[in-house]
């Protein structure tokens, strides 16, 4: 495994990038404006692309450079642009009916990070890789997944839903980049195109909601329409 023989410099670079990603997902959790979510998501994707490139450089996996470029292009530019077009067309700037206020959700997110750390210690112990960087990668992966679920459950705007899904997926991506950087290229490609499909579906869903329910809040989907 790559992570078992990393130089201190590479190790600190990995941890810096992983923690920056985690911090950006907290920015998404704490902001009210949909545009800020989007900027944070784009920045997060760029950092993940940098992380892939770092893994490629230090681990000697040339195909990871390709993944870094794809990640940068699709997650960092194409997806945010598509979402930005949807947001611009919608005239919905911000989350109005949040279940949990941003400050409370940040605190809940912090508790999730603590929980993720506890789980990561157990997992690393069981796998017999108790390196700091492994624990960190597992913590970031688990806590970003949990934060993604949190965004999915406390935000009602359709845009927030799709961004929550994307954060969740970013978390898994960053975990795989650090833990198993040699993951086959084909899988990565499949995941990237899956994401495109997800965003396209949500675009259609949002249009549908807007036309038939007059709102973009997914709460409108609770009602049965014959």
Partner 1 sequence: MNTREILLQIGQVLTVLLLAPLLQGIIHQFEERVQRGQGPGIFQPYRDLWKLFHKQIVVPETASWLFWVPPIVAFTCMLTVPILIPVLTDFPLPLSDMGDILGGGLILTLGSFLIILAGLDTSSAYGGIGSSRAVMVSILAEPTLILVFVGITLLAKAMIPFVVNHLLVASWPAYFSPAHLFLVAAFFILLLVETDRMPIHSSTHIEVYMIEEGRILEYSGPLLALLKWASAMKQFILYAIFCNVLVLPWALSLKGTAIGALGAAAGLIVKFTLVGCVVVFVETAQSRLRFYRYQEPLAASFLLAILAIIGTQIF
Binding residues (CB under 8 A) for partner 1: these are: 8, 12, 15-16, 19, 22-23, 26, 30, 102-104, 106-107, 109-110, 113-114, 117, 132, 135-136, 139
Our CB check for partner 1 shows the closer of 93 and 194 to be 93
* Least distance from partner 1 to the Cβ atom of residue 50, Å: 16
Q: How buried is residue 144: exposed, middle or buried, by Cβ count under 10 Å (0-12/13-18/19+)?
A: buried
* Least distance from partner 1 to the Cβ atom of residue 139, Å: 7
* Least distance from partner 1 to the Cβ atom of residue 100, Å: 11
> Could you tell me which of 29, 65, 25, 27 has the C-alpha nearest to residue 45?
25
* Least distance from partner 1 to the Cβ atom of residue 122, Å: 14
DSSP assignments along 201-216, one per residue: HHHHHHHHHHHHHSS-
Our CB check for partner 1 shows the closer of 130 and 194 to be 130
Our CB check for partner 1 shows the closer of 22 and 87 to be 22
Reduced to 3 states (helix: H, G, I; strand: E, B; else coil), residue 7 is coil
Our CB check for partner 1 shows the closer of 2 and 116 to be 116
CA 216 to CA 206: how far, in whole Å?
6
> Could you tell me which of 168, 156, 175 has the C-alpha nearest to residue 219?
156
């Amino acid at each position: 495994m790559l992570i078992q023989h990393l130089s201190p410099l590479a190790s600190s670079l990995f941890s810096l990038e992983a923690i920056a990603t985690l911090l950006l997902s907290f920015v998404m959790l704490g902001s009210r404006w949909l545009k800020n979510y989007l900027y944070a998501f784009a920045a997060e994707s760029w950092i993940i692309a940098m992380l892939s490139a770092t893994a490629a450089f230090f681990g000697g996996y040339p195909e990871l450079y390709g993944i870094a470029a794809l990640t940068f292009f699709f997650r960092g530019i194409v997806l945010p642009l598509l979402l930005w077009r949807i947001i611009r067309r919608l005239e919905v700037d911000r989350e109005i009916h949040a279940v949990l206020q941003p400050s409370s959700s940040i605190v809940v997110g912090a508790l999730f990070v603590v929980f993720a750390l506890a789980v990561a210690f157990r997992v690393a112990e069981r796998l017999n890789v108790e390196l700091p960087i492994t624990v960190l990668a597992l913590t970031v992966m688990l806590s970003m997944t949990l934060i993604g679920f949190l965004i999915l459950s406390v935000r009602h705007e359709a845009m927030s839903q799709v961004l929550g899904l994307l954060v969740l997926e970013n978390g898994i991506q960053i975990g795989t980049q650090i833990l198993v950087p040699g993951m086959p290229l084909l899988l990565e490609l499949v995941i990237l195109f899956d994401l495109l499909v997800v965003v396209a579906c949500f675009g259609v869903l949002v249009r549908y909601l807007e036309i038939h329910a007059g709102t973009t809040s997914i709460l409108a989907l609770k009602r049965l329409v014959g």
